Structure 1
Amino acid sequence: QSVRQGVGKTKITGRVLDNNGEPIIGASVLEYGTKNGTVTDIDGNYTLNVSKENATLSVSYIGFVPQQVKVSGGNSTIHLKEDAQNLNEVVVVGYGTMKKADLTGAVSSVNGTEIASRPVTDATQSLQGLVPGLLVSNDSSGRPGSSGTLTLRGQGNLSGTGHPYVLVDGIEMSLSDVNPNDIENISVLKDAAACAIYGARAAYGVILVTTKRGKEGKSRINYQGTVGWNSPTVLPKMLNSVDFARMWNDGCKNANSSRLYSDEKIKLLEQYINDPSSVNPWQELSSTASMNPAFENSESGIGNVDYFDLHYKDTSFKQRHNLSVSGGGKAAQYYTSAGYYKEDGLLRYANIDFERINVSTNLTSQLTPWLKLKAGLKFAHSVQNTPFGDGGLSDGFFHSLARFRPTVSVVDPNGHFTELSMIPYLQSGTYTKTKRDFINMTGGFEINPFKGFNVFMDYTYKIIGTHYSALNVAPMIYAADGVSTSKGVRQELGVTADGKFTRYNDNTHYQTINLYGTYNFSINQAHNTTVMAGYQEENNKYDYLRNVITGLYSTTNPNVGMGTGDKVVTDTRNSWATRSFFARVNYDYKSRYLLELNGRYDGSSRFAKDHRWGFFPSVSV
């Protein structure tokens, strides 16, 4: 729709959709012939102020045919058609590859070069804006090592846990364990027709990741390195101490409260802002007073503090380096890579960072004209340091940044940071450390006994181990005399007076066997058929052991066995196995009529007598 916005301006709103009616995120919408433009949001919506009512918009997005559309009231929804060249593109689908033109389901493809060029933490974040209908969100954005969550075509369920099923080279895996530089391409299967072959786990879509493999030819060495800086996108703008005091007084008068800043105090606050050295910010403090805390939630004290500016740095450094070697002859090809990523946190006084190492290698060997062997290894090791988390400081820290008054100095009379600044809590020795190791080993073969018929078999063993430790230490807060101290304990930060130590380990051991075959044949070059059938077996074992103890004997050498408080132990173990049969038939008549049938049976010991059947037919004309 269009709404007149005064002389010479018209506000146009609308949506940009693909040929399946899915919103396109990040599509470019420009007023034709100008630099006036915008991009669509997560729902494909756009808003643009144009120079005339019947404006022509130029709309474009990667993989779609650009369009120029004249927009008037009620004609603001724009459908982009997929580029015809993309229809001949071969994309990865469930257990194989197919041309887009031969698919009945909705499938989007992303090339690995688009992902590798983005300086982000992991491959999850790099998908932002590349796939219509795919939303990447990150509730922990800004914290080093935080990964995003993916949702396809909306939330999926009421609890917000409906995330796509991610497979890397056919193996269930987290995208955060994949080096973005190792990715060859990503296929996103969006609807039931495309996802049915994977059964119930594909209820919210499927993301198929194919990693790079060696190619015949001379050895190629490739290095890619990036360095950069993070900065806070938006921080709240806080009042200075004088404006705060005046607005506080207005609120008190409206509430008939007598808790007012005096005119004399406001003049001192103004003087402090102009020349901090000319005013004693602690002139109301007794020389023997405790400063634990000092002047919190009171009209005493003189200062001018922006807590966001105090705690947040303007920038934090990050770097990423990747080195790969590939090549081989006709008989065998190889690919090996190593990646390093390091990201510092934005908090000025906290020890907060994330570091990850990735190693990947694979080998393909054509032993005979009909037999090919494959082997691969993926390894990732990461360490995350932060004072926040289970057993450390709580997120109440961030709540307090906007809660404390700016009228109290954060440096005491002796030059120490005050308890109210919260800096002592960040420097007390409280920490959380997460070490995570991931290893994935795969071996298999491919048999081609005659033209059109291929048999694939692979075996994978995967280990994921996480070691977590957290130490909670109350800081010592100096009194006004600069000598005596007392422990700082602030409930909203989750600080324990006598110390607490938390440690847990969880381990996952997973193995799977895949065996499937495909047969392609054509009758009179008009009836083209592909038949696929296979078997999968999975076994998973998981164990979790958590120990927590309070009242530590020592905070310099903490131990879960040494403390005066209660010791809490949690021990969890479980295992499951599945055996699945699956099949698909694709029929194409002269590229005009498509028929696809998908079916899967899952028999699982995850729940007692758990049997799941799925069958999905789809037709495209």
Structure 2
Amino acid sequence: MNEKGLKRKATIGLLLLFLFSLGLTAQERTIRGVVKDSYGDPIIGANVMVKGTNIGAATDMNGNYTLTVPPSATTLQVSYIGMKDTEVSITGNVINITMEEDVSSLDEVVVIGYGTMRKRDLTGSVSSVSAETLAAVPVASAVEAITGKMAGVQVLTTEGSPDAEMWIRVRGGGSITQSNDPLFIVDGFPVSTISDIPPTDIESIDVLKDASSTAIYGSRGANGVVIVTTKSGQAGKLRLSYNAYFGVKKIAKTLDVLSPYDYATWQYELAALKGSNAIENYNSFFGNYQDLDLYRNVPYNDWQDLTFGRPGSSMNHSLSLNGGSERMTYAFNFSHLSDKAIMEDSDYKRNSMSLKLNNKATDRITLDFSVRYTDTKINGGGANDATSTLDTDKRLKYSVIYTPIPLKNLDASAGSADDDLGNLYN
């Protein structure tokens, strides 16, 4: 009797467990549908996800999808490049979804040679950088700020001096004998460079790259056109803005140089290859070969570190005033940049002021006034001397070939080149 009762209970338990499993399985359901765009065309590869879970599927060639969703699922999320993300409620087993185009980026206004135009209506090749992008990069000039942000636009540094000119190449160089510099236009006027314009004073930079966009400028625009639009005043109350940043820099990599002992040994080996006369000359400078151990652990000059080893710094201040009425607006900007290079006695300071007035005389006549003043002071140079008629890399070269043996009376009391009254060498 007991055995029969146990068997009956086990059978009933297994049956209840089986029915419970069937109930759980029955609660899950399959949802299918089609994802289309606003024109009724199927979207291939759209991601359909159950909100709050990792359950999802991609649409096939006909825009169809199939999902097995849990009973707690209430919403589907659909995403696709170029379309707005869409959420739909789960109301049945068949859910068809229509997605809308994301046209917000197409309504952006860009500056071209003969005015402004929305990107959706533009047929030429134009790249743009906004004021927000420029302000987010703490650099000395607007040219540095656009580095790597425009397709087909390459920015190069001519040499390492603090005020080194930045080269801009639009779709590479087109000539091997003539200039490949693009045409610079600032507020409608051609200029020779834009390196002296503070990034905080720029509203946008547009680069015209193809023939249709640059045709209005003729042959001057053959290498591309860089159009800079500076900030204008806005009607309303006076707005005061202050922006500052501070940065430090140091040399990234140095070359290995010889110690005094290695240098004296190398000089002896060189003299031995040249003959007995060279050996006698060597002894007059370095002494006998048997005394080379005297050069071990002696203080020496690492000219590379003395020339390029100091930490550099960069400090920038920018103050702007903006305001006006419906008829007249004004914008004033003052910027101060102080850049201390890593090379001794090398620094760069720039003070820049700009004033822009816009007066709407009538509904058809607008009077614009703009003035800019820049004062630049440059000390020293870079690792290369591009204007030299001899060695174009003499500063860096000499820093590693000078003898490391200490100079006479060189000690800590000699001071450093950063001191107003001191000098590294007496």
Q: TM-score interval w.r.t. the shorter chain?
A: 0.5 to 0.7
RMSD: 3.5
1:414–1:398 Cα change, 3 Å: closer
Take 2:117 and 2:166, find their aligned partners in 1: how far apart are those partners?
29
Give distance in 2, aligned partners of 1:247 and 1:87.
67
Q: Please report how far the alpha carbon of residue 179 of structure 1 lies from its aligned counterpart in structure 2 after TM superposition.
A: 1.9
Picking from 406, 412, 421, the partner of 2:408 is: 412
Q: CA deviation at 1:312?
A: 2.0
CA contact (8 A) 1:242 1:270 kept: yes
How far, CA to CA, are the matches of 2:341 and 2:364 in structure 1? 53
Partner AA of 1:386 in structure 2: G
Supply the distance in 2 between the matched residues of 1:217 and 1:151 (Cα, whole angstroms).
40
CA deviation digits over 1:451-471, x for unaligned, max 9? xxxxxxxxxxxxxxxxxxxxx
Which amino acid counterpart does residue 241 of structure 1 have in structure 2? P
**How many angstroms does 1:148 deviate by?**
1.0
Q: 1:151 pairs with 162, 166, 169, which one? A: 169
Rate the CA distance shift 1:392–1:316 in 2: closer, same or farther, 3 A: farther
* More displaced 10-residue stretch of structure 1: 338-347 or 257-266: 257-266
The CA distance in 2 between the partners of 1:116 and 1:228, in whole Å, is 15
Pick aligned residue for 2:330 from 316, 328, 334: 334
Higher strand proportion (structure 1 or 2): 1
Give the conservation status (yes or no) of the 8 Å contact 1:133–1:153.
yes
The secondary structure found in structure 2 opposite 1:242 is helix
Structure 1, residues 548-594: CA drift from partner, whole Å, max 9, x if none?
xxxxxxxxxxxxxxxxxxxxxxxxxxxxxxxxxxxxxxxxxxxxxxx
Partners of 2:295 and 2:103 in 1: CA distance? 68
Specify the alignment match of 1:313 in structure 2.
Answer: 309
* TM-score when normalising by structure 1: 0.45
Is the CA contact 1:307–1:401 (under 8 Å) kept in the aligned structure 2? yes
Structure 1 residues 163 and 265, CA, compared in 2 at 3 Å: closer, same or farther? farther
Give the residue type in structure 1 aligned to 2:167. T
In 1, Cα distance between equivalents of 2:107 and 2:381: 51
> Hey, what's the Cα distance between the residues in 2 that align with 1:329 and 1:256?
88
- What amino acid sits opposite 1:398 in the alignment? L
1:168 correspondence with 2:168: no
Partner of 1:398: 396
User: Would the aligned equivalents of 1:387 and 1:393 in 2 still touch at CA under 8 Å?
Assistant: no
Query: In structure 2, what is the Cα distance between the partners aligned to 1:263 and 1:364?
Result: 80
> How far did 1:98 drift?
1.0
Residues 1:96 and 2:115 are matched in the alignment: yes
Distance 1:391 1:191, change over 3 A: closer
2:213 is the counterpart of 1:194: yes
Q: Which residue of 2 aligns with 1:364?
A: 358
C-alpha distance after superposition, 1:299-343 (max 9, x if no partner)? xxxxx3321112223312221111001122222222111111111
CA contact (8 A) 1:241 1:305 kept: no
241 and 345 in structure 1: CA distance in 2 versus 1, 3 angstrom threshold? same
Partner in structure 2 of residue 557 of structure 1: none
Contact 1:145 1:343 in 2 (8 A): no
Partner deviation per Cα, 1:211-239 (whole Å, 9 max, x = no partner): 11111222211000112223223332323
Q: Does 1:270 align with 2:266?
A: no
Contact 2:124 2:213 (8 Å CA) reproduced? yes
1:415 Cα deviation from its structure 2 partner: 6.1
- Aligned residue in 2 for 1:219: 238
C-alpha distance in 1 between matches for 2:320 and 2:389: 38
- 2:157 and 2:340 map into 1 onto residues whose CA distance is 18
1:74-122 deviations in Å (ceiling 9; x for gaps): xxxxxxxxx9643332110002011223222211000122112322222
* Contact 2:187–2:230, Cα closer than 8 Å, also in 1: yes
Counterpart in the other structure of 1:353: 347
CA–CA distance in structure 1, aligned partners of residues 390 and 378 of structure 2? 15
| Greater C-alpha radius of gyration | 2
Choose between structure 1 and 2: higher helix proportion: 2
Secondary structure of 1:402 counterpart: helix
- For the 8 Å contact 2:310–2:343, the answer to whether it is kept is no
Query: For this pair of structures, how many residues does the alignment match?
Result: 309
Q: Against the structure 1 CA distance between its residues 243 and 206, is the aligned structure 2 distance closer, same or farther, given a 3 Å change threshold?
A: same
Residue 121 of structure 1 contacts residue 145 of structure 1 at CA under 8 Å; is this kept in 2? no
Distance 2:313 2:119 in 1: 41
Q: Which amino acid aligns with 1:169?
A: D
* Structure 2, gaps ≥5 residues long: 1-80, 83-101
Name the structure 2 match of 1:239.
258
3-state SS, counterpart of residue 195 of structure 2: helix
In 2, the alpha carbon distance for the partners of 1:199 and 1:230 equals 43
Q: Which amino acid aligns with 2:348?
A: F
Query: Do the aligned partners of residues 227 and 394 (structure 1) sit closer, same or farther apart at CA in structure 2, a change above 3 Å counting?
Result: farther
Name the counterpart of 1:386.
380
User: Would the aligned equivalents of 1:125 and 1:147 in 2 still touch at CA under 8 Å?
Assistant: no
Q: Secondary structure at the match of 1:266?
A: helix
Distance 1:371 1:414 in 2: 71
The one-letter code sitting in structure 2 at the alignment partner of 1:344 is: K
Deviation of 1:144 (Å): 2.0
Cα gap change, 1:320/1:387 in structure 2, threshold over 3 Å: closer, same or farther? Answer: closer
Gaps of at least 5 residues in structure 1 are: 1-63, 66-82, 277-303, 430-476, 479-621
C-alpha change, 1:271 and 1:415, in structure 2 (3 Å) is closer
Deviations 1:5-58 (A, max 9, x none): xxxxxxxxxxxxxxxxxxxxxxxxxxxxxxxxxxxxxxxxxxxxxxxxxxxxxx
Q: CA contact under 8 A between 2:239 and 2:323: conserved in structure 1? A: yes
Q: Are positions 1:343 and 2:339 aligned together?
A: yes
**3-state SS of 1:177 partner:** coil
Matched, 1:107 2:137: no
Per the normalisation by structure 2, the TM-score is 0.64
CA contact (8 A) 2:332 2:354 kept: yes
Tell me which residue corresponds to 1:377. 371
Whether the aligned pair in 1 keeps the contact of 2:140 and 2:198 (CA below 8 Å) is no
Higher-RCO chain (CA-CA 8 Å, sequence separation at least 6): 2
Matched with 1:134 is 153
Distance 1:414 1:111 in 2: 53
SS in 1 for 2:213: helix
Instruction: Verify the 8 A CA contact 2:147 2:154 in the aligned structure 1.
Output: yes
2:142 pairs, out of 104, 123, 136, with: 123
